[in-house]
């Protein structure tokens, strides 16, 4: 099996699964309970928060544990919009956000907020000038993803964050789900107030994540309940999942420098191999993109057909975001980049992890070339 759908989810590290099992067995008590077992769970939760904060370079009080990227984005976007609605109702985002963010903004529009959706260029990147022109005195929230989940384009979040340092009444949220451990980002220096990270994108368990909330940033909670996570996120904490995710964060961080260099080598090989296949159109920019995602179309072959043909040969890639892959129609990200609809409907996403090898890529490219040729013959 060759697994190249790591942007959808990653395989958990064995050590991470062992941590989950151990904590489930030995620290099963509710961290909010007053007895000694609850106290041990509470101490482990505090230790995990400390470790997570050190891994992303922030204060432990700024780490809120969530169930993943979707909850993190919704809590950041809706929570900030509701908390600061007395200051204004103008929000800024992009045309190419993940569905969890994009749909949250649509809901806010229905509630009376005004949203500016920044367009992107042919490489999937927003213009800083467009952002500046869209910014207003009553803009209370800016939400921009760091790395696009379908094409890998890196957005100018550092430049936007530097600009927003002049406007402390505007909250800046960054969806860092695809960028974390793939494209370095300093939360302390970037001017970011809210940042979303997901556990299952870095070999942690599904249903885990965290939201960085800069001290002093207000959020209106989405859940009513016991006031866990400093009142931001009620509900009994998923302690086994949290501990397992933090272990995945630590293990991935330890591999990060060599891992990113390895991914860049893999991507270079992938670019050269794909470019040699007839009728291949690569949508991911060669520069200014994450090293782990490559999006490509093969003219005349629908993406679903190619994905299933490769699956029969034990090779796994995807079409678009896993959350949207079963929706009919072409990728809204590619359409937003100005890609023709028929070409956008022929795109597949290849996404790698540190564990993928050069031999796997060589095999993948050989099988892909033959599969594309075979499908063209069938479709004539």
pLDDT in tens, 240-261: 999 999 999 999 999 999 999 9
CATH code of 2-7+255-379, in short, is 3.90.1150.10
CATH code of 14-251, in short, is 3.40.640.10
Q: What's the pLDDT score for residue 321?
A: 54
C-beta atoms surrounding 259 within 10 Å: 19
- Distance from C-alpha of 17 to C-alpha of 180, rounded to nearest angstrom: 20
Ranges in the chain annotated CATH 3.40.640.10: 14-251
- Is residue 21 scored above 90 in pLDDT? yes
Q: What's the pLDDT score for residue 380?
A: 62
Q: What's the pLDDT score for residue 65?
A: 98
> In the structure, what pLDDT confidence band is assigned to residue 327 with cuts at 50, 70 and 90?
low
Provide Rg for the chain, Cα atoms: 21
DSSP three-state, residue 152: coil
Q: What's the pLDDT score for residue 188?
A: 86
- Residues 142-159 have a mean pLDDT of 98
Q: What's the pLDDT score for residue 319?
A: 93
- Is residue 328 scored above 90 in pLDDT? no
Q: What's the pLDDT score for residue 355?
A: 98
Choosing from 323, 335, 367, 375, the catalytic residue is 323
The angle subtended at Cα 43 by Cα 37 and Cα 47, nearest 5°, is 145
Respond yes or no: is residue 323 known to be catalytic: yes
* Residue listed under structure tokens 């499908």: 375
- Residues 50-67 have a mean pLDDT of 98
- Residues 56-72 have a mean pLDDT of 98
- Is residue 136 scored above 60 in pLDDT? yes
- Residues 355-366 have a mean pLDDT of 98
Q: What's the pLDDT score for residue 3?
A: 98
Question: Rounded to 5 degrees, what are φ and ψ at 89?
Answer: -130, 20
- Is residue 130 scored above 90 in pLDDT? yes
b/e 327-350 (16+ beta carbons within 10 angstroms → b): eeebbbbbbbbebeeebbbbbbbb
Q: What's the pLDDT score for residue 330?
A: 87
Task: Give this prediction's pTM.
Answer: 0.95
In this structure, what DSSP letter does residue 155 have?
P
Q: What's the pLDDT score for residue 135?
A: 98
Q: What's the pLDDT score for residue 332?
A: 93
- Is residue 325 scored above 90 in pLDDT? no
Ranges in the chain annotated CATH 3.90.1150.10: 2-7+255-379
Q: What's the pLDDT score for residue 314?
A: 98
Task: Note the pLDDT tens digit of each residue in 210-248.
Answer: 999 999 999 999 999 999 999 999 999 999 999 999 999
| Half-sphere exposure (Cβ direction) of 258: Cα atoms closer than 13 Å | 6
**Nearest alpha-carbon partner for 62 in 206, 232, 244:** 232
């Amino acid at each position: 099996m060759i697994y190249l759908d790591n942007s959808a989810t990653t395989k958990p590290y064995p050590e991470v699964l062992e941590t989950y099992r151990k904590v489930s067995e030995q620290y099963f008590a509710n961290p909010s309970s007053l007895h000694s077992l609850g106290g041990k769970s509470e101490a482990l939760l505090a230790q995990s928060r400390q470790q997570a904060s050190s891994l992303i370079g922030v204060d432990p009080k700024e780490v809120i544990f969530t169930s993943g990227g979707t909850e993190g984005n919704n809590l950041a976007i809706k929570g900030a919009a509701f908390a600061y609605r007395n200051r204004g109702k103008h929000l800024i985002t992009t045309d190419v956000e993940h569905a969890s963010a994009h749909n949250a903004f649509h809901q806010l529009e229905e509630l009376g907020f005004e949203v500016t959706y920044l367009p992107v260029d042919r490489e999937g990147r927003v213009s800083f000038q467009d952002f500046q022109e869209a910014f207003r005195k009553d803009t209370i929230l800016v939400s921009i993803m760091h790395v696009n989940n379908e094409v890998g384009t890196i957005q100018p979040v550092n430049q936007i964050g530097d600009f927003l340092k002049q406007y402390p009444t505007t909250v800046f949220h960054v969806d860092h789900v695809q960028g974390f451990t793939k494209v370095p980002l300093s939360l302390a220096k970037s001017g970011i107030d809210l940042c979303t990270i997901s556990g299952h994108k870095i070999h942690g368990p599904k249903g885990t994540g965290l939201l960085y909330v800069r001290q002093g940033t207000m959020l209106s909670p989405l859940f009513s309940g016991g006031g866990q996570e400093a009142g931001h996120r009620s509900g009994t904490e998923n302690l086994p999942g949290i501990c397992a995710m933090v272990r995945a964060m630590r293990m991935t961080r330890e591999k990060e420098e060599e891992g990113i260099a390895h991914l860049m080598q893999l991507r270079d090989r992938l670019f050269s191999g794909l470019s040699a296949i007839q009728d291949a159109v690569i949508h991911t920019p060669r520069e200014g993109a994450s090293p782990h995602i490559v999006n490509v179309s093969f003219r005349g072959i629908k993406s679903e057909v190619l994905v299933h043909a490769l699956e029969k040969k034990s090779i796994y890639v995807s079409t678009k975001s896993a959350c949207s892959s079963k929706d009919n129609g072409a990728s809204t990200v590619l359409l937003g980049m100005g890609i023709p609809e028929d070409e956008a409907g022929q795109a597949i996403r290849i996404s790698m992890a540190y564990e993928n090898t050069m031999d796997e890529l060589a095999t993948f490219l050989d099988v892909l070339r033959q599969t594309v040729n075979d499908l063209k013959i069938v479709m004539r």
